[in-house]
Structure 1
Amino acid sequence: MKTKPRIAALVSSLTLAALTTTAVAQEHPAAALAAKTVVLVHGAFADGSSWNKVIPFLEKAGLKVVAVQNSLDSLDGDVAVTNRAITAAQGPVVLVGHSWAGAVISDAGVKDKVKSLVYVAAYAPDDGQSVFDSVKGYPQMPGQASFVKDADGYVKVSDAGVAKFFAPDLSPSDQKLIAATQGALNIQALDQPVPHAAWHKVPSFVVVAANDQIISPQQQRDQVKRLHATAIEVPSSHVAMLAYPKAVADLIIKAAE
């Protein structure tokens, strides 16, 4: 005699599960996301934690996220690390680079799994160009005066430079974290050319940081035109992904679609 209540309870449970699944599917429709994985590549003076405010938005949209940890020793070295992440990634990839990593994704983005590129306040060298080549014709940015080079040719940003030039729109506590966790870049890496720029063949998206004091905002805008990119502009310092994480994440999600 208890069979009917059990059947009713089972039907109710299955109905609730179906409704829940439908709601989740409607919120993040899997079919709408052509890419499955986002590979995030940090710039100089940073590490993978620089994407911490963006990652939750991407995961909520149903994307798998991998933030690489570059050595910042050379272009070839950082491209190799990024290539390993692309190879291991699930499904098609959106490749995202901040700052120096724009050169990295321009090189690594030639892999077949990469379906779109996202440049966040980043350099986008052309075929045979280095980062140093790409900045020719643009004024030296004030933040570069805060770079400190050691005896081995590795460069960091001074603590005062982080607060004044690199991330002036972040809180003092965030500025201290950036200064403490930053990686040192081998200055010679900036002189290493990108053999074949992937943006010639892969759809590109660009976040322009309008108040950037490290990379010329005008250079960033000119790159939008050269790349025929879909772009947004935010009133941000160089660290747009920390100052405007939702806007950056929304563009990455758009690139995944």
Structure 2
Amino acid sequence: MKLKKVVLAVSMLVAIAGGTAQAQAQPVKNIVLVHGAFVGGAGWRAVYDRLTHDGYNVTLVQEPLTSFAQDVAATRRVLDRQNGPVILVGHSYGGAIISEVGNDNKVAGLVYIAAHVPENGETEADNGKKIPNSAHPFVKSSDGYLSIAPEYYHADFAADLPAAQADFEAHAQMPTNAAVFTANIPHPAWKTRPSWYMVAKADKIISPDLERLYAKRAHSHTVEIAGASHSVYQSHPDEVARLIEQAAQHALP
């Protein structure tokens, strides 16, 4: 009788341990997408469709691009609404935002799509000078907001999108306060969170070499997409969604 009780107790412990391991192996189901400068959240639509089709709860941030603090606040507002762990995804300037917001306890992992990943003491503007891009200079308004001249938008930002789509986006772009590119992040989340990085090999807005530096320094799981422009999140939604799902499946221990 005692032997049976011991066997039963051991079996229960094994079952509990197995259940705990199984629970820990469950993928993260909440995905928050953060757009970059000059664009809005609508550009994520194709990625959103693929992730929701696969059963993920996906929410888009519409940051105002008026200051780094306000963009971070807009992202935190969305993050606070999530029930359970979250994968934060940032494109371009959105990479700086998720590097700040990613310290939240809800964040299980970070995905950078052709994004800036600054270190403490660095700014996007300074890093862009150290490893320059190949785009035309931005246009600056009298009140300090930057935009891309419409005649250069297709070639510089979205060369692998149809010309008509790029032209529309050039005239729908959101001017971005130049000050956001000088923000410092004292405790970047990529130092304590697992990360994934997509390098756009034909990017003219952020040099692919700078993207590789960022990915290597953050010890990110990295993929490179040949022929991809800075708009890789729109032109290669299958690959982007696949990388995000990899993060969701492997972020938790």
Q: TM-score range by the shorter chain?
A: 0.7 to 0.9
Q: Which segments of 5 or more consecutive residues in structure 1 lack a partner in the other structure?
A: 1-29
Counterpart among 233, 243, 246 of residue 238 in structure 2 = 246
Q: Which residue in 1 is equivalent to 2:212?
A: 221
Aligned position for 1:67: 60
Matched AA of 2:222: A
RMSD between superposed Cα atoms in Å: 1.6
Q: Describe the SS at the equivalent of 1:52.
A: helix
Moved more, 176-185 or 212-221: 176-185
Aligned residue identity for 2:33: L
Q: Indicate conservation of the 8 Å contact 1:36/1:90, yes or no.
A: no
The counterpart of 1:111, out of the listed 104, 108, 111, is: 104
Q: How many residues align?
A: 227
Provide the rounded CA distance (Å) in 2 between the counterparts of 1:144 and 1:32: 46
Kindly state the Cα deviation for residue 135 of structure 1 after the two structures are TM-superposed: 2.9
Range moving further from structure 2, 170-179 or 193-202: 170-179
Alignment of 1:131 onto 2:124: yes
Which of 72, 80, 83 is equivalent to 2:73? 80
Contact 2:198–2:223, Cα closer than 8 Å, also in 1:
yes
Which of 184, 206, 215 is residue 193 of structure 1 equivalent to? 184
Does structure 1 residue 102 correspond to structure 2 residue 102?
Answer: no
1:174 maps to a residue whose letter is Q
Q: Decide whether the 8 Å contact of 1:124 with 1:134 is kept in 2.
A: no
Amino acid at match of 1:153: G
SS at match of 2:84: coil
2:170 partner letter: A
1:91 Cα deviation after fit: 1.4
Amino acid corresponding to residue 199 of structure 1 in structure 2: W
Matches of 2:129 and 2:31 in 1, distance apart?
A: 31
Q: Which residue of 2 aligns with 1:182?
A: 173
What are the within-5 Å matches in structure 2 for residues 21-36 of structure 1? 33-36=26-29
User: Residue deviations 1:72-122, cap 9 Å, x none?
Assistant: 111111111101111101211000000011110000000000000000000
Structure 2 residues without counterparts, runs of 5 or longer: 1-22
Whole-angstrom distance in 2 between the partners of 1:33 and 1:144: 45
Deviation (angstroms), 1:32: 6.1
AA aligned opposite 1:46: V
Partner in structure 1 of residue 10 of structure 2:
none
Q: Is the 8 A contact 1:34 1:92 kept in 2?
A: no
| Aligned match for 1:52, one of 45, 59, 81 | 45
Q: CA offsets per residue over residues 9-29 of structure 1, 9 Å max, x none?
A: xxxxxxxxxxxxxxxxxxxxx
Give percent identity, aligned residues only.
40
Q: Counterparts of 2:114 and 2:128 in 1: how far apart (Å)?
A: 13
TM (norm. structure 2) is 0.86
Distance in 2 between the 1:59 and 1:68 partners? 16
Cα distance, 1:137 vs structure 2: 2.2
Given that residues 134 and 207 in structure 2 are in contact (C-alpha distance below 8 angstroms), is that contact kept between their aligned partners in structure 1? no
Partner of 2:31: 38
